[in-house]
Chains A and B, each alone.
Chain A
């Protein structure tokens, strides 16, 4: 889960990884893969992880609608209460609302996030999801997989594999934040 970014100050150090066309094509491919892997979208539901994942999930739902003509249920998950570093933070992070307005039982839930990094966010998201019900299956769709996993977690659908060093910062900037769609990487 990346925070909705403030406008980056040091644009000079930024390297463009994906532009808006790249992002659109990657999402279209992922939408097709979701439909293909699940042989339609009968039992499929999308759950976006706040904040970036929610926007991407909405975009995927639109694409799946175009491909299959079906409206896939969509939910929004705030993983704050399930973070493994809550007790270590000085100030408690601001909570946002979780809203999963459908029954998870036997659903194929596709978790959606912008960047997959250590895997800790996904662990928290899976725990959060399990408290809401018992999905039949959980899959994971991410726009960027930047490596450096600290938990044995693997994405089902990946927009782009991006080799990074641990110190680098990957930002997925979206129109929903008032930015041009793009993915950038910057050195600290």
Chain B
């Protein structure tokens, strides 16, 4: 079975089998990234375009490295240097890129739904690398891969997602995927950062962090977007850190073998204490390493002749 999709825009419509296929494929590429010569010829002659309308180092670099290790040609378009600043629309930009025969476009955009709009307008495969507050499917897939790599099974797994859920596309993609795979998802955060109707997605909501962390197998911290400070979501950063920051003490409330995850970049001492980020239970750097393998898997699966 192949992945019979032109685009990867969201995890909401993916089946359990499709997610399993992506994770299994990523497993094969993890072996490649462990080799001395970390390159295979699978995407020779294909062109991957990174179209990033929002600043991003981690995700863009990860996609770039993934594409290069598959022997694809990679072009990076950044917001500042693109003609968008000259007033060109997203679709026009994309059509121009497509005219240069791009096979896959990787899009990061600040508007929810941008990737879907783009996918409808171009023949190239489109991979959503984050659209507004909507979804960030490849991040969630690398999170799933990292959880699975640690020997944890999704069925009945207790996962706490902590922080600004409202403004987190990482949280949304993870909620869709984890609930589908049979995990119990708990969202922890202040009411100002919790969408009102989020329970409809089959999750539990906790406003008290200590209660929510009890017995969980995975603690997924979200980055506090400091740039949102001043929008009255919480009084001070110090208060947020006290109520929702992950400390070594709080980790003890979780299951003894619990792992700590973070999509990065981390705010040390805000949402996560430095000693927790560097502890043995932290898999934050595994997530980064696995990101390349997972994205190689996705690029490989999306690069069929269609």
Contact = CB atoms under 8 A, between A and B. Distances in A.
B123 interface: no
Contacts of A80: 42
B82 interface: no
B2 interface: yes
Contacts of A132: 35, 37
B41 A92 contact: no
Contacts of B41: 81-82, 127
A132 B31 CA distance: 11
Interface residues of A, number: 22
A99 interface: yes
Interface in A74-100: 78, 80-82, 86-99
A95 B300 CA distance: 10
A94 B37 CA distance: 22
B167 interface: no
A91 B37 contact: no
Q: Of residues A94, A99, A133, which shows the largest number of chain B Cβ atoms within 10 Å of its Cβ?
A: A94
A46 to B, nearest CB: 19
Nearest to A124: B41
Q: Is the interface of A mostly helix, strand, loop or mixed?
A: loop
B28 A95 contact: yes
A175 interface: no
B28 A92 contact: no
A97 B37 contact: no
Contacts of A98: 28, 31-32
Given A87-B305, A89-B305, A91-B2, A97 B27 contact: yes
A99 B31 contact: yes
A128 B37 CA distance: 11
A131 B39 contact: yes
Nearest to A82: B41
B3 A92 contact: yes
B25 interface: yes
A4 to B, nearest CB: 15
B301 A92 contact: yes
Given A88-B305, A91-B2, A92-B3, A78 B37 contact: no
A90 B305 contact: yes
B85 interface: no
A78 B42 CA distance: 12
Nearest to A83: B42
A97 B32 CA distance: 10
Interface string B25-47: 10111011001110111101110
A92 B40 contact: no
A81 B21 contact: no
Interface in B7-33: 21, 24-25, 27-29, 31-32
Interface in B288-306: 297, 300-301, 303-306
A87 B45 contact: yes
Give 6 closest A-B pairs by Cβ, nearest first: A91-B2, A95-B28, A81-B42, A81-B40, A92-B304, A91-B304
17 contacts: A82-B41, A82-B42, A87-B44, A87-B45, A87-B46, A89-B304, A89-B305, A90-B305, A90-B306, A92-B303, A94-B21, A95-B297, A97-B31, A98-B31, A99-B31, A131-B39, A132-B35
Given A91-B4, A97-B27, A97-B28, 10 more contacts: A82-B41, A82-B42, A89-B305, A91-B304, A92-B301, A94-B25, A95-B25, A95-B297, A95-B300, A96-B28
